[in-house]
Amino acid sequence: MISAAAWGQPALRALAQWAPRVLRVPDALFDGLSALPSPARIGYLLPVPATLAIDPQAASVVLDRLQDAGNVGSILRSAAAFGVGQVLALQGTAALWSPKVLRAGMGAHFGLRLVEGLQADDLAALQVPLVGTSLATDHLLHRATLPWPCAWVLGHEGQGVSADLLARCALQVRIPQPGGEESLNVAAAAAICLHESVRQRETRGRPADDHSGSDCRFCVSGGVCYNIRPSRARV
């Protein structure tokens, strides 16, 4: 679907013609089809995919009653970026295919296995360990040995992960916030956790390259060291 004005632009017209059917609509009508004040002048109508079954062995993100559509869409983007291919949304989570989540997801939906409307008991189908985020645990994210694959459990913006779900987690971790404020947005927390999974996955079992912990301020202090790089190929 493309507005009359956009049809006059060769680049947009060429893009529209990839669709099996093209509908040109008057500009005024096109404006009324979007909730945005300045919408793009081209759109696609796609069927919402059928609900899929849980892949029991897939690296996953579990959304526990997240209500902000922007947060949900941002987490989908992070999942796609960091190679977590399945997102499981429990009942009470913003609809994954709602317009706001779609906009925030920026196309991530189409690279993920999305399952929504789940109950906590449905997670028993997973054969990967659950890893929960919690402010009450002493296990710091960067010092924990994270399993892979796993299912990251992210909780409600105000209430966090439910007690029932935390009890099911094989591991609970906390992101250190030395600033003293519990102000980390759940979407930001998700990106940090998923990045740490990637970092450990990429460096686990690989020796350091030209790095000695004895003169590293991170190693000496007992903190996490990001100076360890994957070793170059050695003969």
pLDDT tens track for 11-22: 999 999 999 999
Domain presence at residue 69: yes
Let me know whether 120 and 89 are in one domain: yes
pLDDT (0 to 100) of residue 40: 85
Which tops the pLDDT comparison, 176 or 235? 176
Nearest CA to 131 out of 118, 119, 144 is that of 144
Structural domain harbouring 114: 60-203
DSSP assigned state of 42: B
Domain presence at residue 65: yes
Let me know whether 103 and 218 are in one domain: no
Q: What is the mean pLDDT of the chain?
A: 87
Calculate the CA 133 to chain-centre distance.
14
Per-residue pLDDT, averaged over 175-184, amounts to: 80
pLDDT (0 to 100) of residue 23: 94
Q: Confidence band (pLDDT; 50, 70, 90) for 211?
A: very low
Radius of gyration in angstroms for the set of CA atoms belonging to the chain, rounded to a whole number: 22
Domain presence at residue 230: yes
Let me know whether 125 and 154 are in one domain: yes
Let me know whether 160 and 181 are in one domain: yes
Let me know whether 17 and 91 are in one domain: no
Let me know whether 210 and 198 are in one domain: no
CATH number at residue 118: 3.40.1280.10
- Which string of b and e fits 15-39 if b means at least 16 CB within 10 Å? ebeeeeeeeebeeeebeeeeeeeee
Domain presence at residue 51: no
72-111 pLDDT, tens digit per residue, is 999 999 999 999 999 999 999 999 999 999 999 999 999 9
Nearest CA to 218 out of 146, 142, 147, 144 is that of 142
Is residue 75 left, alpha or beta, with left meaning phi > 0 and alpha meaning psi from -120 to 50? alpha
Let me know whether 4 and 90 are in one domain: no
Let me know whether 39 and 93 are in one domain: no
pLDDT (0 to 100) of residue 218: 43
155-175 pLDDT, tens digit per residue, is 999 899 999 999 999 999 999
Let me know whether 75 and 150 are in one domain: yes
Domain presence at residue 108: yes
Residue 233: pLDDT over 70? no
Let me know whether 78 and 137 are in one domain: yes
Nearest CA to 228 out of 100, 205, 16 is that of 205
Residues whose CB falls within 8 Å of the CB of residue 137, separated by 6 or more in sequence, listed in order: 172, 173, 174
Q: Confidence band (pLDDT; 50, 70, 90) for 139?
A: very high
Q: Confidence band (pLDDT; 50, 70, 90) for 226?
A: very low
Q: Confidence band (pLDDT; 50, 70, 90) for 34?
A: confident
183-204 pLDDT, tens digit per residue, is 789 999 999 999 999 999 988 7
pLDDT (0 to 100) of residue 38: 82
Q: Confidence band (pLDDT; 50, 70, 90) for 206?
A: low
pLDDT (0 to 100) of residue 49: 85
Residue 222: pLDDT over 50? no
Let me know whether 219 and 173 are in one domain: no
Let me know whether 153 and 187 are in one domain: yes
What pTM, to 2 d.p., does this model score?
0.80
Domain presence at residue 223: yes
Domain presence at residue 52: no
pLDDT (0 to 100) of residue 181: 65
Domain presence at residue 53: no
The domain tally of the chain equals 3
